[in-house]
Amino acid sequence: MLVSSKRRRGLVKRGALSLLIAVGLSGCGFDTTQSALNPAGTVAQIQARMITSSFWIMMVVSVVVFSALIVAIIRFRAKPGQKTLPPQTEGNNRIEFLWTVTPAIILALMMIGTINQSFVLGKIYPASQALQVDVTGHQFWWQFQYPSANITTANELHIPVGEKVELILTSADVMHSFWVPRLGGKTDLIPGRTNYMWIEASQPGIYHGQCAEFCGTGHADMRITVDAEPPARYAVWVQSMTHPVSVPPKSSTLAYQGYLDFASAGCESCHTIGGTNFAGAVGPNLTDLSDRLMIAANLIPNTLANREAWIHDPQAVKPGALMPNLHLPSNEVTAIATYLGTLK
Ligand SMILES: [Cu+2]
C-alpha cells in the first residue's frame, strides 16, 4: 500500500509524540536529584561503579548471545523444500564446556569485585575515624543525634564535606529505611536492633532522600535532607546548635507571646527547644528551627504561612501525621509560628 509523504510525516510525528508520552508516563526523566547514578559521595560512587560495570558486562554478554542467536536463526533456517533435519550437534563437548565455563568466569569476577566492595562498605568506623550520628526513625520523621557535640535535631542532617560519617541506625516504632541515593544505598532501621552505615559527601550541597521502607500512612512524606557543608560552615552550625537563641526578648511582642503560648498550649510536652526548659521527647527537637529549609519532615518550605498551616491542622498538611490538632485559636497559631521562626 502506498502512503503519501504527508501522511507518513503525520504518522512519524504521532509516533514520536506517543513515545514521548510513554517515556513521561514511565517516570523516565532526567531529574537526577535522587539518583544513585549521580553519586556525590564515596559510598555512592563505589555503588554506582558496581552498577555501571555490571550493566556493561551484561550488555556485552547480551550483544554476543543475541548476535549468535540472530546469525543462527538466519543462517540455519529451513531452506525452501528442505524435508530432512539439519545435522544435530547436541552433546558437542567443546561448546558445552565453553558456555558453562565462560559465564562461570564472568560471574566469579563480578563476585570477587562485589565481595571486596562489601567489606569496604560494611566497615564500621569508630568515633576516632568518623563523626558518629545516631539516627532514629519515627513515624514519620527522622531524629539525628550527635553524641560528641550533644546535639539533637530532626529531619535535616548536617555533615562536614570530605569527612566520614558513621550513621548508627535504629527505630522508635516500626521499620524504616534510610536512603539518600546520591550519598549511598539504603539501610533499614529496625526496632530493638542497631544497624550501621557510613557516608562521605565529596562535594558541598543539599542531598535529598526519603524513607524506603513502608512504615505507615505518612511513609511517602518521611523525607530526609542532608546538608553537606564545608567544615568551617559545619562548625558554625554546631556552634548555633550548641548555643541556641531560644527565648525572644519581651520587646518582640508577638514572638514572646508565642514563646508563652508554646508552653501553655502544651507543645512543650512533646518538643524540646535547646536554651529553654521545653524538654518534651516525643516529637522532633525544634532547636535552631529557623535554620531549617523545610518543615514537616521536609514536606513544605519553612515559611511563616506553612508553619501556621502545620500547627493549625497537621493532618491536613501531612496525612497520617502523629502531631495532634490542638484546635488552637488563630492568634495563638500565628504567635507560635512566629516564635518558632526566631529560633536560631
Ligand atoms: Cu519510615
Any idea which residue has 519581651 for its cell? 250
Residue 220 Cα to ligand 1 midpoint, Å, equals: 8
302: pLDDT strictly greater than 50: yes
As a whole-number percent, the residues of the chain with pLDDT over 70 amount to 95
Contact present, 125 and 198 (Cβ < 8 Å) = yes
Write the CB contacts of 36 (distance below 8 Å, at least 6 apart in sequence): 44, 47, 48, 51, 181, 182, 185
Hey, what's the cell of 244? 541556641
Q: 37-58: per-residue pLDDT in tens?
A: 999 999 999 999 999 999 999 9
The SS3 assignment for 127 reads coil
Residue 296 Cα to ligand 1 midpoint, Å, equals: 13
Neighbouring C-beta atoms of residue 137, cutoff 10 Å: 26
Q: DSSP string of 103-115?
A: HHHHHHHHHHHHH
For residue 170, what are the β-bridge partners?
A: 136
Residue 39 Cα to ligand 1 midpoint, Å, equals: 23
How high is the mean pLDDT of the chain? Answer: 91
Q: What residues flank ion ligand 1 with Cβ within 5 A?
A: 176, 211, 215, 222
For residue 134, which of 196, 202, 190, 181 has the smallest C-alpha distance? 196
Residue 300 Cα to ligand 1 midpoint, Å, equals: 17
pLDDT confidence bin for 301, thresholds 50/70/90: very high
Structural domains of the chain, ranges and CATH numbers in brackets: 34-58+98-241 (2.60.40.420), 253-340 (2.60.40.420)
Question: Across residues 242-254, what is the average pLDDT?
Answer: 88
pLDDT confidence bin for 91, thresholds 50/70/90: confident
Least confident of 32-36, 151-155, 179-183, 222-226: 32-36
Measured distance CA(189)–CA(138) in Å, rounded: 10
Residue 187 Cα to ligand 1 midpoint, Å, equals: 12
**Quick one: pLDDT at residue 196?**
98
Residue 154 Cα to ligand 1 midpoint, Å, equals: 14
Contact present, 196 and 266 (Cβ < 8 Å) = no
28: pLDDT strictly greater than 70: no
Residue 235 Cα to ligand 1 midpoint, Å, equals: 29
Residue 178 Cα to ligand 1 midpoint, Å, equals: 8
Give, in order, the Cα–Cα distances in Å from 22 to each of 18, 26, 29, 45, 101: 6, 6, 11, 30, 40
- What is the CA 13 to chain-centroid distance, rounded? 38
**Quick one: pLDDT at residue 77?**
87
**Quick one: pLDDT at residue 1?**
43
Write the CB contacts of 116 (distance below 8 Å, at least 6 apart in sequence): none
Give, in order, the Cα–Cα distances in Å from 2 to each of 8, 9, 303, 310: 10, 13, 63, 64
**Quick one: pLDDT at residue 88?**
77
Write the CB contacts of 8 (distance below 8 Å, at least 6 apart in sequence): none
Measured distance CA(18)–CA(20) in Å, rounded: 5
pTM for this entry: 0.83
